[in-house]
Amino acid sequence: MVTFRPRSAVATQECRLQTTVLGTPLALPLLLAPVGSSRLFYPRGEAVAAEGAGNAGTAYILSTLSGCRLEEVKTASKGPVWYQLYLVGGRDVAKGAIERARAAGFSALVITIDTPVAGLRERDLRNGMTRLVSRRFWSMLPVVSQFLARPRWLAGFLSDGGLMAFPNVVLPGVGPMSYADVGAALEQSMVAWDDLRWIREIWKGPIVVKGVLTGEDARRAVAEGAAAVVVSNHGGRQLDGAMTSLRALPAIVQALGEDYPVMIDSGFRRGGDVLIALALGAKFVFVGRPFNYAGAIGGQAGIVHAAGILASEISRNMALLGVLSPAEVGPTQIRARQA
């Protein structure tokens, strides 16, 4: 459990949230995390999210498992966009996507290393995801009533093309990978440390390794050329019983040093959560679900509004803590103890 230790009587009328990530200035100490299949939530989901992130002054990270072409997503944002990489489809398919991302102007490559197999996502099974992606009408019958109960969403879904494929995973002789094939493809596409070597030969920009929970893996990532690491348990969707990202963070900061750009995701919902991560040594926080939910409700305006809420919470809490900028947030502002 972590609690705050505020300092009072400190003049903090003008808290500044601006900071810099991998040489790029941002208006907020958070980025929009890669969330696959955002296009299922709202039309042109990933492109809309990238536009919202740019308008909010921060960066967007595009998942390989996106329903929008990466070129469209980059064009939609006036801010930096990173590309998150799975090796679905094999090295040649991944190489094609990396080259497209480089040509389109993506500024960093985020390699996820914690998916040797897909986690057993029992909620998806209960919700009938297998039936939904089968494209067989009779398999979908049990959930048709749920579609009909949400006519506005259904109209947008159908006008946007219905069940999407993955246009950034282009299979030779087949075309974009279908939604139904993604589970099996992930299980055949795990990332090993050796893969970072051939990826570096193609991608000349910064590489961020995502899915680190131990100091050993963090040091190995740096040895393999990572410009930053992301402490992540994949939003709790992979290994049941894995430690939380926040609990893993201090050991990784200790392993890499306080100046190394350690980032973090999984479970961040409020501005106070972001400040706790900064106090424990993270330099940036990836936020995923809150922005996806905001986009589902309000599209690009919803994402900007969500960013504004988080920015307001961070600024207010910084003032109450007695600090002026994210760089001033450190271990003296918190007290951590075992729950």
Q: What is the 3-state secondary structure (H, E, C) of 48-76?
A: HHHHHHHHHCCCEEECCCCCCCHHHHHHH
**Distance from the Cα of residue 22 to its chain's centroid:** 16
Which residue carries 């960093």 as its tokens? 108
Which contiguous run of DSSP H or E holds residue 288? none
Q: Among residues 39, 74, 210, 234, which one is catalytic?
A: 234
Average pLDDT (304-316) is: 96
Contact call for residues 262 and 249 (beta carbons, < 8 A): yes
Length of the chain: 339
> Has residue 59 got a pLDDT over 80?
yes
Q: What is the rounded distance in angstroms from the CA atom of residue 177 to the CA atom of residue 281?
A: 39
Which residue carries 């509004």 as its tokens? 305
Q: Is 234 a catalytic residue?
A: yes
R_g of the chain, CA atoms, integer Å = 20
Task: Decide which of 302 and 153 is more confident.
Answer: 302
The share of the chain scoring above pLDDT 90, in percent, equals 67
Q: What are phi and psi of 81, to 5 degrees?
A: -130, 130
Q: What is the rounded distance in angstroms from the CA atom of residue 284 to the CA atom of residue 296?
A: 24
Among 192, 63, 55, residue whose Cα is nearest residue 115 = 192
Can you give the pLDDT at residue 22?
93
Average pLDDT (233-259) is: 89
Can you give the pLDDT at residue 119?
66
Can you give the pLDDT at residue 29?
96
Can you give the pLDDT at residue 131?
65
pLDDT tens digits, 186-208 = 767 788 999 999 999 999 999 99
Average pLDDT (211-215) is: 96
Which residue carries 């947030």 as its tokens? 329
Q: What is the rounded distance in angstroms from the CA atom of residue 263 to the CA atom of residue 229?
A: 6
Q: What is the rounded distance in angstroms from the CA atom of residue 272 to the CA atom of residue 262?
A: 18
Average pLDDT, the chain: 90
Average pLDDT (4-24) is: 87
- CB under 8 Å to 320, separation ≥6 — which residues? 4, 6
Question: Would you state the structure tokens that stand for residue 37, as one six-digit string?
Answer: 């299949």
pLDDT tier at 221, thresholds 50, 70, 90: very high
CA distances from 141 to 34, 135, 148, 254, 331 (A): 31, 11, 11, 53, 54
pLDDT tens digits, 75-134 = 999 999 999 999 988 899 999 999 999 999 999 999 999 886 676 677 777 776 666 666
**Strands (DSSP E) along the chain, which ranges?**
2-4, 19-21, 24-26, 30-32, 60-62, 81-85, 109-112, 166-171, 175-177, 207-212, 228-231, 262-264, 284-287, 334-336
Q: What is the rounded distance in angstroms from the CA atom of residue 117 to the CA atom of residue 105?
A: 30
pLDDT tier at 217, thresholds 50, 70, 90: very high
Tell me: domain 30-318, CATH 3.20.20.70, correct? yes
Task: Decide which of 159 and 105 is more confident.
Answer: 105
Can you give the pLDDT at residue 162?
82
> Has residue 235 got a pLDDT over 70?
yes
Amino acid type, 292: N
Calculated CA dihedral for residues 273, 275, 276, 281, nearest 10 degrees: 130
Locate the domains of the chain by residue range.
30-318
Among 86, 282, 241, residue whose Cα is nearest residue 166 = 86
pLDDT tier at 220, thresholds 50, 70, 90: very high
